[in-house]
């Protein structure tokens, strides 16, 4: 999504100078304001023309385990989920977990 926005000229480069910010030091008001402005500019660049921020919906990774557990515990997994559903759930899970993360092709 970020690459698409950049290609459309909507996403501006974030060249925020952080050389004066040191670990363990309390930032100055100017440094905080600069960081806030940079973050605001970044998300403003990601915002779509109709006002929403396009992103992958993470709901399936939150909801799917509950479905799997509930159908397993109740013994209804084979009734509720077809072989195709199970295959796609496994594919989705392996492509969207930390161990299975890789670029989409």
Within a domain: 71:
yes
Please check whether residues 91 and 64 belong to one and the same domain.
Answer: yes
Provide the mean pLDDT of the chain: 80
For position 19, what pLDDT does the model report? 78
What is the distance between the alpha carbons of residues 17 and 33, in angstroms, rounded to a whole number? Answer: 12
Domain interval for residue 85:
59-95
- For 70, the 3-state DSSP assignment is helix
For position 11, what pLDDT does the model report? 67
> In this structure, what token pair is assigned to residue 70?
């509930």
Within a domain: 102:
no
Within a domain: 51:
no
Within a domain: 24:
yes
Please state the domain count of the chain: 2
Within a domain: 101:
no
């Amino acid at each position: 999504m970020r690459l698409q926005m950049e290609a459309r000229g909507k996403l501006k480069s974030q060249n925020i100078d952080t050389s004066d910010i040191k670990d363990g030091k309390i930032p100055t008001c100017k440094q905080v304001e600069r960081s806030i402005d940079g973050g605001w500019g970044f998300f403003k660049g990601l915002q779509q023309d109709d006002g929403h921020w396009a992103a992958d919906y993470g709901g399936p990774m939150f909801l799917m385990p509950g479905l799997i557990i509930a159908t397993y515990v109740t013994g209804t997994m084979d009734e509720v989920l077809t072989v195709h559903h199970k295959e796609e759930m496994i594919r989705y899970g392996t492509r969207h977990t930390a161990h299975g993360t890789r670029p989409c092709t």
